[in-house]
Chains A and B, each alone.
Chain A
Amino acid sequence: MKFGVIVFPGSNCDLDVYYLVRDILKKEVEYIRHDAKTIGHSDLIILPGGFSYGDYLRSGAIARFSPIMAAVADFAAHGGLVLGICNGFQVLTEAGMLPGALYRNNHRQFRCEQVYIRVENAKLPFTGAAKRGDLLKLPIAHGDGNYYVPPDQLTELETNGQIIFRYTDQNGAVKAEANPNGSLGNIAGACNRAGNVAGLMPHPERAGTNALGSEDGLVIFNSIISYLQSREVA
């Protein structure tokens, strides 16, 4: 089982993902450059957080045309798992691989803090180790996390279970005060229709050990590992 981490110019959470996978999860991991044409033998692709290409024009807008993105899209089209974290989520929405868009936080501030997110769909490769309604305490660090999707599409996402996580207070209540960026419906993470491409604004890779304040991020990574293992057996 091998994790592949895409490295764009300006990615800065690539190392966090690499560290978590190699040193905490004890799995194989490799960096894949933005200008590579193939993703090699990775079983899962992670698009990490950061400020790819300086986030010029719009967050993720330029990165999504990197040479590697054609290979990532092809991998996803064949059922491969792709997870976008923070800037990676923005890249995936810009690429049209995930619905909606992420724009400026409604209060215009860059927010760097711990938040709680609630698992809305626990039947995905990214959430199988959780139960619906479970709360995860994860850090956020972003200025453009305000998720938007047109109203008709929002209904569709809700019907299809494509909303994976919502921001809540520490008791699991979806409230405006618990929303760190103005995101529609407190949405913190979403996936594509098939459920193999997902994105979220919080950073599970920075919550893999209690030394960093929380190990709730492991829920997501352990879900992925279980899913890939069951697929290997099958």
Chain B
Amino acid sequence: MVLDPQGVAVENSLIALGYKNVHKVRVGKYIELILTAENREDAAIQVEEMARRLLSNPVIEDFSCTLQEAGV
């Protein structure tokens, strides 16, 4: 796992605030997007492909996706 400089800064700050139980902080990205799909499976396939190709860099990042049905 690569060093996360932002996570270290936040971790140090939390510890300075007195949260002595904190051992590891990692800062990531949260990307929200709306898309049209035939069904959940189709949506998952589309999103995972986007995550693999552009939204994440596999050399330094991992990703996970969650789906939620939007109102029509």
Which residues does A use to contact B, with CB under 8 Å? 57-58, 61-62, 65, 93-94, 100-101, 103-108, 146, 148-150, 182
Contact = CB atoms under 8 A, between A and B. Distances in A.
B59 interface: yes
Nearest to A101: B59
A103 B3 CA distance: 10
A58 B56 CA distance: 8
A208 B60 CA distance: 34
Chain A interface, DSSP helix/strand/loop, else mixed: loop
B28 interface: no
A108 B5 contact: yes
Interface in B7-25: 9
A100 B29 CA distance: 20
A39 B9 CA distance: 43
B47 to A, nearest CB: 15
A65 B59 contact: no
B54 A101 contact: no
Given A108-B5, A108-B6, A108-B9, A103 B60 contact: yes
Contact of A103 (B2, B29, B54): B2
A149 B3 contact: no
A105 B5 CA distance: 7
B54 A61 contact: yes
B33 to A, nearest CB: 12
A57 B60 CA distance: 13
B58 to A, nearest CB: 9
